[in-house]
């Protein structure tokens, strides 16, 4: 079976913040499906990105859903603010959340899709007991905090293991890959079972970002029947 139903989510972290509206319009015009919005607090990760005023400005121009990746400690404090500033998908880090089940319920209560992100060192087995409560799992394929890092190949194994874990329990689960995604690894990620590819520097630093999104969207694979 052949498929190209996967989603592409350009990460605005790699946009030109002095020309943010221009870059948002580029994503609008492209074949991208979502805007990936990286919020960092300088505590959970060793970097600070941008906060809700900037997210709100993006939301005013964005014609596609905002997929918000919270790299912050105790994210429960900001779920309402995420919703109020335009989030449709809210993803929290397992490593930054004490009561994940409660947090996921709170995200859904707001009418958003609920996601959990796992750092490269975190086993997918740790989410076995909430897998039925999740809309999305974001597997970090770099250590979070910065764009433009090198892809960690062990991610392929994690995708396969997670797909196996979700089988029969949550067959609609979206597996998102975040960090170092390029045309060199996109096909292999999709073959392993990924549904959403986040790409920051590969899209925004490209000579032709719209064409680059198109190429990521057009990656076609042969799914082997299990
Ligand atoms: C990293 C962020 C990523 C980042 C991806 O902490 O979560 O979303 O923007 O950037 P690239 O695609 O450049 O690795
Ligand atoms: Zn991200």
**CATH code, domain carrying 114:** 3.20.20.70
Pocket test for ligand 1, best of 41, 42, 70, 198 (most atoms within 8 A of CB): 198
Confirm whether 143 is domain-assigned.
yes
| Domain assignment of residue 222, yes or no | no
Taking only the tens place, the pLDDT of each residue in 108-131 is 999 999 999 999 999 999 999 999
Based on the residue annotation, tell me whether 38 is a catalytic residue of this protein.
yes
Question: Which residues, in sequence order, are CB contacts of 205 under 8 Å at separation 6+?
Answer: 14, 148
- In a domain? residue 1: no
- Ligand 1 atom with the smallest distance to the CA of 141 is 14
| Structural domain includes residue 165 | yes
User: Nearest ligand to the C-alpha of residue 199?
Assistant: 1
Distance CA 41, CA 8 (A): 25
Cα-to-centroid distance, 13 and ligand 2 (Å): 8
What is the span of the domain harbouring residue 145?
7-217
Using a 6 Å cutoff on CB, does residue 36 contact ligand 1? yes
- Dist CA 165 CA 181 (whole Å): 23
d(CA 69, CA 24): 17
Residue 221: predicted pLDDT: 80
Q: Is the pLDDT of residue 223 over 90?
A: no
Query: What number does the ligand 1 atom closest to the CA of 203 have?
Result: 12
Catalytic choice (23, 33, 38, 195): 38
- Residue 31 lies inside a defined structural domain of this protein: yes
Q: Is position 174 within any domain?
A: yes
Closest listed ligand to the CA of 136 = 2
Judge whether 27 lies within some domain: yes
- Is 195 known to be catalytic? no
Burial of 69 (0-12, 13-18, 19+ CB in 10 A): buried
* Residue 218 confidence (pLDDT) above 80: yes
Number of domains composing the chain:
1
Instruction: Summarize pLDDT for 23-64 with one digit per residue, the tens.
Output: 999 999 999 999 999 999 999 999 999 999 999 999 999 999
């Amino acid at each position: 079976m052949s498929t190209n139903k996967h989603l592409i989510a350009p990460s605005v972290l790699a946009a030109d913040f002095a020309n943010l509206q221009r870059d948002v319009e580029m994503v609008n015009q492209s074949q991208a499906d979502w805007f990936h919005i990286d919020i960092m607090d300088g505590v959970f990760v060793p970097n600070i990105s941008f906060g809700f005023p900037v997210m709100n400005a993006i939301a005013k121009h964005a014609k596609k859903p905002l997929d918000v990746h919270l790299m912050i400690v105790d994210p429960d404090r900001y779920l309402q603010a995420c919703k109020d500033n335009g989030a449709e998908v809210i993803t929290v880090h397992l490593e930054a959340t004490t009561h994940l089940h409660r947090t996921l319920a709170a995200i859904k209560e707001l009418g958003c899709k609920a996601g959990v992100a796992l750092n490269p060192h975190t086993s997918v087995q740790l989410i076995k007991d909430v897998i039925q409560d999740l809309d999305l799992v974001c597997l970090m394929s770099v250590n979070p905090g910065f764009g433009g890092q090198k892809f960690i190949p062990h991610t392929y194994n994690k995708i396969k293991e997670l797909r196996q874990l979700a089988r029969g329990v949550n067959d609609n689960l979206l597996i998102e890959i975040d960090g170092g995604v390029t045309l060199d690894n996109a096909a292999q990620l999709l073959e392993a079972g990924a549904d959403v590819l986040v790409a920051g520097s590969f899209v925004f630093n490209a000579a032709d970002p719209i064409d680059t999104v198109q190429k990521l969207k057009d990656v076609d694979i042969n799914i082997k029947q299990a």
